[in-house]
Structure 1
Amino acid sequence: MHTVEEIVGRMSNRGLRVTDQRKTLAKLFADSPGYLSPKDVYEYMGRTYSGLSFDTVYRNLRVMEELGVLEQVMFEDGVKFKLHCREEHHHHHLICLQCGHTYPITFCPMDQTAVPEDFRVVRHKFEVFGYCKDCAQDEASATQA
């Protein structure tokens, strides 16, 4: 899911109305390499669509997540969304806190998790946060200066 056309096509195939607002939202995420907070999206959309409510933006973010177009990640400063990566198999991520670069984790830690017999897992998330090589070097340089 990387192009506006693919995103709009998925909306249409699922019977959603493809409004100008949803097309703009699709373009925003197709053009954004990193994570966006609902506030970021609201401010961007508000420049084009006066009177747009935060609830409408958030509802559309949720719809796009349910369609598998967006991924939601909980950061320390709140929830953020990014375009769903092209990996089709189940996986998790290493996420740089500085630049937002995301690396796939090629195995699922749930496979090594002892789940009690009286608990049924229905979904899970596993993200690891840290600094990529470039950002770690930038931070080390800044502290040495």
Structure 2
Amino acid sequence: MINVDNAISVLKKNGYKYTDKRKNILAVFDHENRYLTAKDVQNQLKEDYPTISYDTIYRNLYTFVELDILEETELNGEKLFRFNCAHHGHHHHFICVVCGRTKTIEMCPMDFFKNQLKDCEIESHRFEIFGKCEKCLAKQL
């Protein structure tokens, strides 16, 4: 998985300035290691940056997505972000709808679909399973 130092290198390589705010936004993801909303990030930064706007955070998150620093998904109409983990090879995720933790799914269901789409060219795909992780289920008991 990418870390803060790698992410800052990617930003600089692509002509973006280093700022403490950007570093601290990235540090939130490094510390949490799960999917987060822009609001989650804003809440974690409000002590150090009480006036940081939601738009500033959102704009930075999308810059990070464009640079493949973060990956995004959507749940119930809300964008969620986490450090990109694509360098681990092809895999998919189970995402907890309560806490945002993820689990890697090594098996890919695309072989099944390739057989059904023989006359098509598949350029990319995404497969995510949403549910409750064992920790969140245990809290319900």
- TM tier, shorter chain? 0.7 to 0.9
Q: How far did residue 72 of structure 1 move?
A: 0.9
How many residues were matched structurally? 139
CA offsets 1:44-68 (integer angstroms, 9 cap, x no match): 4455446544333212111111222
Q: CA distance change for structure 1 residues 93 and 57 in 2, over 3 Å: closer, same or farther?
A: same
Q: Tell me the distance in 1 between the aligned counterparts of 2:21 and 2:39.
A: 16
Q: Distance in 1 between matches of 2:67 and 2:7?
A: 9
- Counterpart of 2:117 (choices 94, 115, 118) is 115
Note the alpha carbon deviations across 1:59-103, whole angstroms, 9 max, x for none.
211111122221212112511111223652121101222332211
TM-score (norm 2): 0.78
Instruction: Find the residue that maps to 2:88 and give its secondary structure.
Output: coil
- Residue 41 of structure 1 corresponds to 41
1:21 and 1:109, CA in 2 relative to 1: closer, same or farther beyond 3 A?
same
Post-superposition CA distance 1:3-33 (Å, at most 9, x none)? 3212212212233222222112111211123
SS at match of 1:71: strand
Does residue 1:106 correspond to 2:93, yes or no? no
Q: Any gaps of 5 or more consecutive residues in structure 2?
A: none
State how far apart, in whole Å, the 2-side matches of 1:87 and 1:103 are.
16
Report the counterpart of residue 27 of structure 1 in structure 2: 27
The equivalent of 2:89 in structure 1 is: 89
User: Which amino acid letter does the alignment assign opposite residue 137 of structure 2?
Assistant: A
Aligned to 2:58: 58
Alpha-carbon distance in 1 for matches of 2:51, 2:100: 31
TM (norm. structure 1) is: 0.77
* Percent sequence identity over aligned pairs: 35
SS at match of 1:34: coil
Amino acid at match of 1:76: N
Q: Which amino acid in 2 is paired with 1:127?
A: E
Mark the CA change 1:53 to 1:96 in structure 2 (over 3 Å): closer, same or farther. closer
Distance 1:4 1:124 in 2: 27
